Amino acid sequence: MKDARSCSRKKSMNKKGLLIILGIIALLTVAVAAMWKLNQQEQIARAARPAWTPAPIEKRAPVEELKSIKPVPAFQISPTAASLGPTLDPELFTGSARTAYQIAKEIPETLAEVPCYCHCDRGFGHKSLHSCFKDEHGANCSTCINEAIAAYKMKKETNMSGREIREAIIKQYGR
């Protein structure tokens, strides 16, 4: 009797072990099929993307020139005064800080089109030079003040557009 029970238990354990192995094989099969399907979808997506073609050699910048170009900080394109929000009152400040805040109040759209090269877009999340004057940051930063004054002179003395001012600032500060 003991032998019959023992044999029955062994058969039951063998069946459980076999079921576990079959379950693992089934899971592995499903995983491989899913990976294969994802790979196919990726290949289809890759084929749908346009192929990258490099610029002709004569239009590429020399390596020395590329090394000297800094990343351009954040700026906005064609903002409206309403979308920008107010800057702080210039009367809160003195000297060149007051002048810069007055400029920000007078030509907000222009300053919004200009990147700020103190890189406050990284540290403070500013979206442009205009953002520097929405808080007290602009009062304590000579880069912000100098850029605002330079942008104002370009706007008033030469009637440059925001895009032209941005290009001039990038050329001056981006090296």
Q: pLDDT tens digits for the chain (175 residues)?
A: 556 555 566 666 677 888 889 889 988 898 888 788 777 777 666 655 555 555 454 544 454 554 556 789 988 988 888 889 899 999 999 999 999 999 999 999 999 999 999 999 898 999 999 999 999 999 999 999 999 999 999 999 999 999 999 999 998 888 7
Q: What is the pLDDT of residue 59?
A: 47
Is there a contact between 160 and 168 (Cβ–Cβ < 8 Å)? yes
Return the amino acid letter for 171.
K
Is the CB of residue 153 less than 8 Å from the CB of residue 169?
Answer: no
pLDDT of 174? 82
Q: How far apart are CA 116 and CA 173, in angstroms?
A: 9
pLDDT in the model for residue 131: 94
CA angle 156, 74, 120 (to 5 degrees): 95
DSSP string, 58-126: GGSPPHHHHHHPPPPPP--SS--HHHH-PPPPGGG--HHHHHHHHHHHHSHHHHHTS--TT-HHHHT--
